[in-house]
């Protein structure tokens, strides 16, 4: 029985999708004004694994992830670069896909963008106004938080507490400082990112896009709504307010939030400037090492990222690959019972709120058993689990430079003629080239250090 931790109840709940056999999930995507950092990468790896596991369990999964391509920061960054905001976001979306593909994150079923859903967003806002949940002031539209009685249910805070801690500048136009924007009127120099609306030219506030687009693609109620921990408040709280004010139905059954990636024990974020981009990290690290690094920690716990950490994980990753590269000479002797037991353990781990850390531990147990037995069934099983975790094992671009290959061949000759001195000398040279040679019965293997 799969159990999922629901932020809404703060408990692990048995997972039952609305429609038997079909899981509808919506994951908040990135605001595309810059390259993704590894905090983003973690979020999408997490939800990618959740999706893969649900499929493994036999569910059909509809996965929707948006792109926020209309936003203050995009406008600002584009202005700095002297390009159009939508050109910037378009370029960054392409970069997003480049990064995620390297991490083996499967494509979503759809990637709705704000700029392409103005109609839905505008009519959503109109309905909110009609029902008395929103009001218009000078071309801006605000959601009136106090009208939605359940406000604060997700983030577990009450309106009065929030009032006390308000530090944001008071906006005179709002009826209440907690009210948030549904529609922002166009300011000077924003012609390029403005759309016509009943309230004049402008653009949507941040939260409304997810309410409007999730409804469009998944309906009023869907199963899993995911995102980073930092989205719980205000983003998801506000989404709930908007969506449920209209539909009077739960927006999502399960609210799932992943923990942060930190550096030096601080949250990694664009505003703090303490982040590593996916690109930079993958420049000299194996993508699957990063993926494995994420999966070795439970998705809700924070991860403190460091260079040392990923280097260590690379060693662990290589271990998995090596085990899978074993040539199976022996007949399989592992009983089906044993295989079934492993499979059960794997599912028990994943059923427990997607405990990938536990699942990965099992993977290493199998690696160990496989190294000992060289059993085909174990190899297949390992392959099966690794696929659910989305870890690919064909090592990327293992092109051995010709000179290294030549040195290795010379060394093999020296070795065969028992010229140990020359053999060791050549091994040194190979090391200097950044490769390591491992002897095998039938020759050798070369590995990039």
Does residue 389 bind RNA (CB under 7 A)? no
118 vs 232 by CB, closer to RNA = 232
Q: Least distance to RNA from the beta carbon of 19, Å?
A: 26
Q: Least distance to RNA from the beta carbon of 21, Å?
A: 27
Q: ∠ CA 421-437-292 to the nearest 5 degrees? A: 155
Q: ∠ CA 323-295-362 to the nearest 5 degrees? A: 45
34 vs 109 by CB, closer to RNA = 34
Q: Are 229 and 260 in contact (CB under 8 A)?
A: yes
Stretch that binds RNA, among 92-100, 115-123, 184-192, 265-273 (CB under 7 A): 265-273
H or E stretch including 143? strand 140-143
3-class state of residue 303 by DSSP: strand
270 vs 448 by CB, closer to RNA = 270
157 vs 201 by CB, closer to RNA = 157
Total residues contacting RNA by CB under 7 A comes to 81
Stretch that binds RNA, among 54-62, 128-136, 138-146, 360-368 (CB under 7 A): 360-368
Q: Count CA atoms within 13 Å of residue 199 on its CB side.
A: 24
Question: What is d(CA 309, CA 293) in angstroms, rounded to the nearest whole number?
Answer: 8
218 vs 367 by CB, closer to RNA = 367
The burial of 291, by beta-carbon neighbours within 10 Å (0-12 exposed, 13-18 middle, 19 or more buried), is given as buried
Does residue 360 bind RNA (CB under 7 A)? yes
133 vs 180 by CB, closer to RNA = 180
Pairing of strands 60-65, 22-27: parallel
Q: How far is CA 367 from the centre of its chain?
A: 26
Does residue 266 bind RNA (CB under 7 A)? yes
Does residue 279 bind RNA (CB under 7 A)? no
The alpha carbon dihedral of 334, 337, 342, 346 has a sign of positive
SS3 percent helix, strand, coil of the chain, rounded to 5, is 45, 20, 35
Question: What is d(CA 379, CA 373) in angstroms, rounded to the nearest whole number?
Answer: 10
Among 3, 55, 57, 73, binds RNA (CB under 7 A): 73
Stretch that binds RNA, among 56-64, 88-96, 290-298, 335-343 (CB under 7 A): 290-298
Residue 205-224 contact track with RNA, rule CB under 7 A, x = bound:
-x------------------
Stretch that binds RNA, among 124-132, 135-143, 182-190, 352-360 (CB under 7 A): 352-360
What dihedral angle (degrees, nearest 10) is formed by the CA atoms of 161, 167, 171, 174?
-10
Stretch that binds RNA, among 123-131, 184-192, 397-405, 430-438 (CB under 7 A): 430-438
Residue 244-263 contact track with RNA, rule CB under 7 A, x = bound:
--------------xxxxx-
Q: Least distance to RNA from the beta carbon of 248, Å?
A: 25
Q: Least distance to RNA from the beta carbon of 97, Å?
A: 15
196 vs 439 by CB, closer to RNA = 439
Q: Least distance to RNA from the beta carbon of 265, Å?
A: 4
Does residue 429 bind RNA (CB under 7 A)? no
3-class state of residue 142 by DSSP: strand
Does residue 399 bind RNA (CB under 7 A)? no
Does residue 287 bind RNA (CB under 7 A)? no
Among 280, 344, 436, 443, binds RNA (CB under 7 A): 436
Question: What is d(CA 48, CA 44) in angstroms, rounded to the nearest whole number?
Answer: 6
Does residue 390 bind RNA (CB under 7 A)? no
User: Within 139-158, which residues bind RNA (CB under 7 A)?
Assistant: 155-157
What tokens does 136 get? 């218009």
196 vs 280 by CB, closer to RNA = 280
User: Within 1-60, which residues bind RNA (CB under 7 A)?
Assistant: 10, 28-31, 39-40, 42-43
Distances (CA, A) of 291 to 27, 79, 364, 376: 18, 35, 16, 26
Q: Is 245 left (phi over 0), alpha (psi -120 to 50) or beta?
A: alpha
Question: What is d(CA 131, CA 254) in angstroms, rounded to the nearest whole number?
Answer: 26
What tokens does 117 get? 């859903």
Q: Count CA atoms within 13 Å of residue 222 on its CB side.
A: 26
């Amino acid at each position: 029985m799969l159990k999922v931790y629901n932020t809404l109840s703060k408990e692990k709940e048995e997972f039952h999708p609305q429609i038997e056999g079909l899981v509808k999930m919506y994951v908040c995507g990135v605001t595309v004004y810059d390259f993704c950092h590894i905090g983003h990468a973690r979020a999408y790896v997490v939800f990618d694994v959740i999706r893969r596991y649900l499929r493994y369990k036999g569910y059909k999964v509809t996965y929707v992830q948006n792109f926020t391509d209309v936003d203050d920061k995009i406008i600002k960054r584009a202005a700095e670069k002297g390009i159009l905001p939508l050109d910037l976001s378009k370029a960054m979306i392409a970069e997003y896909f480049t990064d995620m593909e390297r991490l083996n994150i499967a494509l979503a079923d759809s990637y709705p963008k704000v700029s392409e859903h103005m109609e839905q967003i505008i009519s959503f806002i109109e309905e909110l106004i009609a029902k008395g949940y929103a009001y218009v002031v000078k071309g801006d539209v605000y959601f009136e938080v106090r009208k939605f009685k359940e406000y604060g249910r997700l983030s577990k805070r009450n309106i009065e507490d929030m009032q006390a801690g308000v530090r944001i500048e008071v906006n005179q136009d709002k009826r209440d400082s907690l009210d948030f924007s549904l529609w922002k009127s166009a300011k000077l120099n924003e012609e390029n990112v403005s759309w016509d609306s009943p309230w004049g030219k402008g653009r949507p506030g941040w939260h409304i896009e997810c309410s409007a687009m999730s409804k469009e693609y998944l309906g009023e109620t869907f199963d899993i709504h995911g995102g980073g921990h930092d989205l719980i408040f205000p983003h998801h709280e506000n989404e709930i307010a908007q969506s449920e004010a209209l539909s009077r139905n739960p927006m999502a059954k399960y609210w799932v939030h992943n923990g942060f990636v930190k550096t030096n024990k601080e949250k990694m974020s664009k505003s703090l400037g303490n982040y590593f981009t996916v690109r930079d990290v993958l420049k000299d690290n194996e993508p699957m090492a990063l993926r494995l690094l994420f999966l070795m920690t439970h998705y809700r716990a924070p991860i403190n990222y460091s260079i040392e950490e990923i280097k260590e994980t690379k060693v662990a990753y290589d271990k998995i690959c090596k085990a899978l590269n074993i040539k199976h000479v022996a007949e399989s002797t592992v009983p089906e019972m044993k295989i079934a037991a492993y499979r059960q353990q794997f599912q028990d781990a994943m059923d427990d709120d997607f405990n990938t850390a536990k699942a990965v531990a099992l993977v290493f147990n199998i690696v160990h058993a496989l190294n000992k037995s060289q059993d085909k069934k174990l190899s297949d099983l390992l392959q099966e689990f690794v696929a659910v975790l989305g870890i690919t094992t064909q090592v990327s671009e293992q092109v051995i430079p010709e000179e290294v290959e030549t040195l290795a061949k010379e060394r093999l000759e020296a070795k065969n003629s028992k010229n140990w001195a020359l053999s060791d000398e050549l091994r040194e040279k190979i090391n200097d080239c950044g490769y390591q040679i491992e002897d095998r019965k039938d020759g050798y293997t070369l590995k990039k250090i």
